[in-house]
């Protein structure tokens, strides 16, 4: 067999070793499912085998389904009956395994997730090695799916409904000790002893019947409408899930429904219930969206799919950071944490030390939470050298400037740094809005000048946007991406333009919300609908976070640069009023669209009602939602048209991980494909007629809709087209 080795020893114990060739980690490929079916049949009928141990030939046990193959197969799976039949395969073979009359033990030598853990749950005994990085869990919900190999039925029967639902609906991972405490595994042993421990149980006791197949079995803690614990769990759980998901994520409710229905039925019928919900989720575009963007595209970005192939990899040993404000301090922290020596430079020693204090504070929090020991924290902090002397940048392979968004200031620090660093060093700007090509004019070597745009707070935000200027060379791109991989962030690569990709489209979201305020739409409606749609915060709140002062500065600079070409929006007037008339500049200043009392929760400024009187007729929630989401997606299409973004996957990853576009959509481009290009264009036309030309569908989108094309379909066609 290609993926499973079968061997029976002198004691009659069959060792089934999973080893999916060509994969660094075992996953459930088509070959594996075929082999598993065959090997279970072989074991069940093999008179020489009286028991079995299932283990892995790799460092981990199994990561679950081949999600990339699953997504690529979506277009072919349009018939529910076909999907249902496909989804039953794993269930049926695992049911055969646990009811064949022979005891089976799982020797879990590393991480077991998704279908990998479901194989273990179908075994009669589970032993896990106490490896530091080993985790067990059912993370399917995180990509819009539910378990399809029996976990929604076996876990509740094993540990009870409430603890099972907490794991299933949140996709939690447990380390070996926590899995033992939860009752998911029976034994934790030292690494390398898991097969021996599994064999010992088989030889000594080896019960071949699962608890749920024994006469008189009851779900721990109770199940069904007549059990008060069960009723309370589902009643409060449903309310909590609706609050958390905003009705945008169907998988958690499907999990709860499968558990609720299945736990009052015999196991075989219950598994059929799970398959029906699994089929429904697999055919839902939310699963396609989340799997493609959150797992596949993000994984490819983490592996540097956009890296030019020729320049050799070069790790940064010494990094220079210019500016010790919040951004510079954050960059210094994540880089020192990754093992780099960091030179943190500012105009005076006190500012530089204050930037280092930021790292000190973050490290102390990790110590307090048990996530880091004091010695490691001291070593990390010692890697940060504060200075005011540019000469200390000598030896830096990369310098990142994070000074104020002013061209003259940036030009000055560029010249001073380049006078010191080596000829092959890379200089990067952390600007969020100023075009890189223009900033590179201050450089004596523009081929080595690049944009590396971090998001705040740097230690928490996963995305980094790499901006390629007109003269930026492949070496600079490659080494910027190598650096981002070193600090374990997710990069996207975009071409230079005003606001690049993320800042440009994100600003559309905030401007649309502010424009609605100017029109007299209730600010609470604007904010609440944005959050219900899946945005992390409303457009007014997020403008306060980045500061109205910064918005005003960017607006003024853009107006100055573009002159007559600048297109004003109703938001411009509001931002100008808040900064220059109301002196309400954002959260950092204690007041903006919201008030921020010292001893209380933030709340919308009551003065909004006075200055922006409510319109007599308020829009329907769907109208507000569409304005916010469509505006961002339309601007993304313009970015693709202009070559700012070159692949729909970068647009989707950037929108979800950069500014929090709703993950259920898969990103700004996947949102268009989910709506359907024809329907999206029709709604954009309606919005444009009612609210202005900013909603006008680009000609490229109209053409694609007319031709029945999709963004990902076109991108894949280009990728697969043979060379001329």
The predicted-structure confidence for 131-161, as pLDDT tens digits, reads as follows 989 999 999 999 999 999 999 999 999 999 9
CB count within 10 Å of CB 481 equals 24
Render pLDDT for 62-88 as a digit per residue (tens, 0 to 9). Answer: 998 888 777 666 545 567 888 888 889
| Cis ω before 457 (30° cut-off from 0) | yes
State the catalytic residues: 453
Give the per-residue pLDDT at 209.
Answer: 96
Average pLDDT (432-444) is 92
What are the tokens at 228?
């008060």
Going from the N-terminus, what domains does the chain have, and what CATH number goes with each?
A: 4-283 (3.90.226.10), 318-498 (3.40.50.720), 503-643+647-716 (1.10.1040.50)
What integer best gives the mean pLDDT of the chain? 93
Burial class (CB in 10 A: 0-12, 13-18, 19+), 42: middle
Q: Decide if pLDDT at 97 tops 90.
A: yes
Q: How far apart are CA 337 and CA 221, in angstroms?
A: 45
Q: Which long-range contacts (CB under 8 A, 24 or more apart) does 325-329 make?
A: 325/355, 325/402, 325/403, 326/358, 326/456, 326/457, 327/402, 327/430, 327/454, 327/456, 327/458, 328/355, 328/400, 328/402, 328/403, 328/430, 329/354, 329/355, 329/356, 329/358, 329/359
CA 440, chain centre distance (Å): 32
> Nearest to residue 266, comparing CAs of 312, 213, 321, 304?
213
DSSP 653-708: HHHHHHS---GGGTSHHHHHHHH-HHHHHHHHHHHHHHH-GGGPPPHHHHHHHHHT
SS3 349: helix
Q: How far apart are CA 419 and CA 441, in angstroms?
A: 15
Average pLDDT (99-120) is 97
CA 548, chain centre distance (Å): 28
* Cα 702–Cα 706–Cα 711 angle in degrees, nearest 5: 70
Q: Which long-range contacts (CB under 8 A, 24 or more apart) does 347-350 make?
A: 347/388, 348/388, 349/386, 349/388
Give the per-residue pLDDT at 72.
Answer: 67
Q: Decide if pLDDT at 708 tops 90.
A: yes
Whole-model pTM? Answer: 0.91
Give the per-residue pLDDT at 78.
Answer: 63
Share of the chain above pLDDT 70, in %: 98
Q: Decide if pLDDT at 179 tops 60.
A: yes
For 151-176, the three-class secondary structure string (H helix, E strand, C coil) is HHHHHHHHHCHHHHHHHHHHCCEECH
Query: Residue 635 — φ and ψ, nearest 5°?
Result: -65, -35
Render pLDDT for 476-510 as a digit per residue (tens, 0 to 9). Answer: 999 999 999 999 999 999 999 888 999 999 999 99
Give the per-residue pLDDT at 723.
Answer: 40
Q: Any residues with CB less than 8 A from the CB of 625 and at least 6 apart, and which?
A: 529, 530, 532, 533
Render pLDDT for 342-398 as a digit per residue (tens, 0 to 9). Answer: 999 999 999 999 999 999 999 999 999 988 999 999 999 999 999 999 999 999 999
Q: How far apart are CA 167 and CA 164, in angstroms?
A: 5
What are the tokens at 621?
């929630």
For 96-154, the three-class secondary structure string (H helix, E strand, C coil) is HHHCCCCCEEEEECCCEECHHHHHHHCCCEEEEECCCCCCEECHHHHHCCCCCCCHHHH
Q: Decide if pLDDT at 542 tops 70.
A: yes
Q: Decide if pLDDT at 721 tops 60.
A: no
pLDDT band at 465 (very low <50, low <70, confident <90, very high): very high
Render pLDDT for 208-262 as a digit per residue (tens, 0 to 9). Answer: 999 999 999 999 998 887 788 887 888 888 888 877 788 899 999 999 999 999 9
Q: How far apart are CA 593 and CA 576, in angstroms?
A: 13
Average pLDDT (41-59) is 97
* Cα 391–Cα 394–Cα 395 angle in degrees, nearest 5: 165
Give the per-residue pLDDT at 247.
Answer: 84
Average pLDDT (19-34) is 92
Give the per-residue pLDDT at 719.
Answer: 61
Render pLDDT for 247-294 as a digit per residue (tens, 0 to 9). Answer: 899 999 999 999 999 999 999 999 999 999 999 998 899 999 999 999
């Amino acid at each position: 067999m290609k993926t499973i080795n079968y061997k029976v020893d002198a004691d009659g114990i069959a060792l089934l070793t999973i080893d999916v060739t060509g994969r660094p980690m075992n996953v459930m490929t088509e070959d594996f499912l075929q082999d598993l079916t065959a090997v279970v049949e072989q074991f069940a009928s093999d008179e020489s085998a009286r028991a079995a141990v299932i283990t892995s030939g790799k460092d981990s046990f199994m990561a679950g389904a081949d999600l990339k193959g699953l997504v690529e197969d979506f277009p072919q799976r349009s018939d529910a009956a076909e999907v249902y039949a496909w989804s039953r395969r794993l269930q049926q073979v695992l049911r055969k395994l646990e009811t064949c009359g022979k005891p089976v033990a799982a020797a879990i030598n590393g991480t077991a997730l998704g279908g990998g853990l479901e194989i273990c749950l179908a075994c009669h005994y589970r032993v896990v090695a106490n490896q530091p990085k080993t985790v067990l869990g059912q993370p399917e919900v995180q990509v819009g799916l539910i378990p399809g190999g029996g976990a929604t039925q076996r876990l509740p029967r094993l540990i009870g409904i409430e603890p099972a639902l907490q794991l299933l609906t949140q996709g939690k991972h447990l380390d070996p000790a926590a899995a033992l405490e939860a009752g998911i595994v029976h034994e934790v042993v030292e690494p390398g002893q898991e097969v021996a421990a599994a064999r010992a149980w088989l030889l000594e006791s080896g019960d071949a019947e699962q608890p749920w197949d024994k006469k008189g079995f009851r779900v721990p803690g109770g199940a069904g409408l007549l059990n008060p614990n069960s009723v309370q769990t589902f009643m409060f759980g449903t309310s909590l899930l609706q609050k958390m998901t905003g009705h945008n994520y169907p998988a958690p409710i499907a999990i709860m429904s499968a558990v609720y229905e299945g736990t009052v039925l015999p196991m075989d019928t219950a598994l059929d219930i799970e398959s029906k919900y699994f089929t429904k989720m697999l055919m839902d575009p939310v699963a396609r969206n989340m799997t493609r963007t959150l797992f596949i595209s993000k994984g490819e970005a983490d592996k540097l799919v956009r890296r030019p192939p020729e320049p050799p990899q070069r790790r940064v040993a010494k990094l220079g950071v210019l500016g010790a404000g919040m951004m510079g301090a954050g960059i210094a922290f994540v880089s020192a944490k990754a093992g780099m020596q960091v030179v943190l430079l500012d105009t005076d020693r006190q500012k530089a030390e204050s930037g280092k204090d930021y790292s000190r504070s973050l490290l102390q929090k990790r110590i307090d939470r048990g996530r880091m020991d004091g010695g490691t924290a001291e070593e990390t902090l010692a890697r940060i050298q504060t200075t005011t002397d540019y000469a200390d940048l000598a030896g830096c392979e990369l310098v990142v400037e994070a000074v104020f968004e002013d061209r003259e200031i940036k030009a000055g620090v560029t010249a001073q740094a380049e006078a010191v660093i080596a000829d092959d060093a890379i200089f990067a700007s952390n600007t969020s809005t100023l075009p890189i090509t223009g900033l590179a004019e201050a450089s004596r070597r523009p081929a080595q000048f690049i944009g590396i745009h971090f998001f705040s707070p740097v230690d928490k935000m996963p995305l980094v946007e790499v901006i390629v200027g007109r003269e930026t060379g492949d070496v600079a791109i490659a080494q910027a991406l190598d650096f981002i991989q070193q600090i374990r962030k997710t990069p996207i690569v975009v071409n230079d333009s005003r606001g690049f990709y993320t800042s440009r489209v994100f600003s559309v979201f905030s401007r649309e919300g502010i424009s609605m305020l100017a029109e007299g739409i209730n600010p609470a409606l604007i904010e609440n609908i944005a959050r219900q749609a899946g945005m992390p915060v409303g457009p007014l709140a997020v403008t306060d976070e980045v500061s109205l002062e910064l918005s005003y500065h960017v607006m003024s600079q853009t107006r100055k640069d573009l002159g007559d070409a600048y297109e004003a929006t109703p938001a411009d007037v509001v931002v100008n009023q808040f900064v220059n008339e109301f002196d309400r500049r954002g959260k950092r200043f204690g007041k903006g669209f919201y008030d921020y009392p010292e001893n209380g929760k933030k709340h919308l400024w009551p003065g909004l009602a006075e200055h922006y009187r409510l319109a007599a007729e308020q829009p329907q929630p769907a109208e507000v939602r569409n304005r916010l989401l469509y505006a961002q997606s339309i601007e993304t299409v313009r970015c693709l048209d202009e070559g700012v973004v070159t692949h729909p996957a970068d647009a989707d990853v950037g929108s979800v991980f950069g500014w929090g576009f709703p993950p259920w959509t898969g990103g700004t481009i996947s949102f268009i494909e989910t709506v359907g290009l024809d329907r999206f264009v029709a709604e954009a036309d309606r919005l444009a007629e009612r609210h202005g030309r900013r909603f006008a569908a680009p000609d490229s989108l109209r053409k694609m809709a007319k031709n029945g094309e999709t963004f990902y379909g076109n991108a894949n066609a280009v990728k697969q087209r043979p060379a001329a």
